[in-house]
Chain A
Amino acid sequence: MTDWWDYHLIDFLLFSTRVYYRLFVSFNLAFWPVNLVLYLAGAVLVYRGLRGGRLFQRGILVVLAVMWAWAGAVFMGHYYRPINWAVPYILPIFAFQAVIMVLFSLRKTPLVFCWRGDFSSMAGVALLILAIPVYPFFSVLAGHDVLAAELFGSAPDPTIIGTLGFVLLMRGTWRWLLLPAPVLWCILTSLTLWAMDQDIAWLPLVAAWLAILGGWMDAKSGVTRKPEATSPVHLNRAQRGAADPAGLVE
């Protein structure tokens, strides 16, 4: 009987780095300009999410769900699956996350995205900066075609790192249910990138670690359990001025 532990991690990486980055070239070319629109939608989400507004609070989760579904069904299902036999086992992670985000958006009391000035907020913004404006440059810096850029909203890694950023900026009950799927993906993709000897292999792991650490600190301080009405984004302008005299919000 042959056992799984007879294999090394590298044995499960059955494609080359060149083929991996060519997936993004094919994907971006085939779905131009959809991927670019999703990418720009990500930037709008960050801006509008931090400005507040109940409609956008719900909308962020719906758009993120669409991004997860797109990255899962199209990139993972159509492009990645033929070269990685493990993908069918991973696809449920994407489906689960998309569904759970839609369910969260339908809740009577929505999750609230806001800047709190604490560790989680700073880590969340850092992850969003990493995922949206920075991540597309990694493949180019590694010497690959500019069309191999991994874009937030369509490519799994930046989409999932960005999702962690959004989760860290949220407040509201049960929000941590949104963490397991991205954290699991971060571990898997870090292992893949590590097996491919990529310099950025540690980034998804750091993102996952930041999300878990931020969540733990929030749980400890109880900040995310504070009543929603005290969140600056849900106060009227006069109340907000009192709650935020320095005008840091908006």
Chain B
Amino acid sequence: MAFADISRRSFLAGAGSTVAASLAGMPLIHAGTAQGQVATGVLRRKIPGSDVSIPAIGLGSWITFNVGVDPVLLKNCTDVMAAFFAGGGEMIDSSPMYGSSQATIGHGLKTLGIHRDQVFATDKVWTSDENGGGDQIAETARRWGISKFDLLQVHNLRDWEDQLPVLQAKKAAGELGYVGVTTSHGRRHELLSVIMQREPLDFVQVTYNPLDREVENRILPIAQERGMAVIINRPFRGGHLTKALRGVPVPEFSSELGAQSWAQLILKYIVSHPAVTCAIPATTRVDHVRENLAAAMPGKGKKDAVLPTPDMRHAIAAAIGDAL
């Protein structure tokens, strides 16, 4: 669907309950829908310690949205965002480290006329300058074209001792919704677990998929115990996992889950972990963003999204292991 085809009215119709939630007295900068309200078809997960929920499938921007000033690629990314919002998505995640991705998101939001309350704006602070966090956040907001973020995280724990207080202060001042930290590629879990035990974090972001499961041992249990929301990055290992599985038939039990592709099986595997709040696959393709969202939507004739049982989760991981 071309973004030009999406009018504000049609978008609002698609994401109606989200807007309704914001109009119903949600905290100013929260895009999430109040618990109990009927949202779009995408499975929603509550942010621990709040009444806010967000769709279990978000949109990452690592590599995919770093397209510079190329008008063709900017339009392509805007199309992806249009499909994402039209399908009920809310959380978009970026970082100052991701080149022009923030500006691409800002371009898409402006072009599509997306209202601030319709997006759960998630970004990061990534600097080793102990006094540089504030300026970087201001620049990030300028690129997005917004004044406040729903969630800001310390990227890859970089200078976390200096940057976390900056974020906490912003949250205390009402300039920020939630505070978090991130890692990726399974790095620095020891330090992450220490920070999670010590700091009052709202979110953590880590890598998790059927092949990269180290977080199951310690990080995810701590998140559950401490009441932290968990964002999952690299669900497809940056696309390498789905690429490696291309041409391999999905297992027979996929139909029970309403999964039509390995990508959907992987996403179902991820969001079915009780500690996981949402996964943020990145893509340059409109059909893929729809496919990703569909993984957390009710199948035909179903009321809710069908997620794998523990046995099925084990079977998914085993099937992928066998296929590779």
Contacts and interface: CB of A to CB of B under 8 A. Distances in A.
Nearest to B158: A2
A14 B156 contact: no
A9 B227 CA distance: 34
A167 to B, nearest CB: 31
Interface string A151-176: 00000000000000000000000000
B63 A15 contact: yes
B156 A83 contact: no
Nearest to A81: B68
A83 B67 contact: yes
Categorize the interface residue count of chain A.
20 to 34
Contact of B70 (A7, A11, A23, A85): A23
A79 B100 CA distance: 11
Interface in B129-163: 156-161
Nearest to B191: A2
Contacts, number: 63
B188 A15 contact: no
Nearest to B69: A82
Interface of A is mostly: helix
A14 B69 CA distance: 15
Interface string A62-82: 000000000000000011101
A2 B185 CA distance: 15
A168 B157 CA distance: 47
Interface string A6-40: 11100101111011001100100000000000000
Contacts of B315: none
B103 interface: yes
B187 interface: yes
B158 A15 contact: no
B120 interface: no
Given A19-B73, A22-B73, A82-B100, A14 B66 contact: yes
Interface centre among B70, B185, B188 (most CB of A within 10 A): B70
Contacts of A198: none
B73 A1 contact: no
Contacts of B99: 14-15, 82-85
Contacts of A19: 66-68, 70, 73
Given A14-B62, A19-B68, A22-B70, A2 B98 contact: no
B66 A2 contact: no
Nearest to B157: A2
Nearest to B154: A2
Interface string B65-79: 011111011000000
Interface of B: 62-64, 66-70, 72-73, 97-101, 103, 128, 156-161, 185, 187-188, 284
Interface of A: 1-2, 6-8, 11, 13-16, 18-19, 22-23, 26, 78-80, 82-85
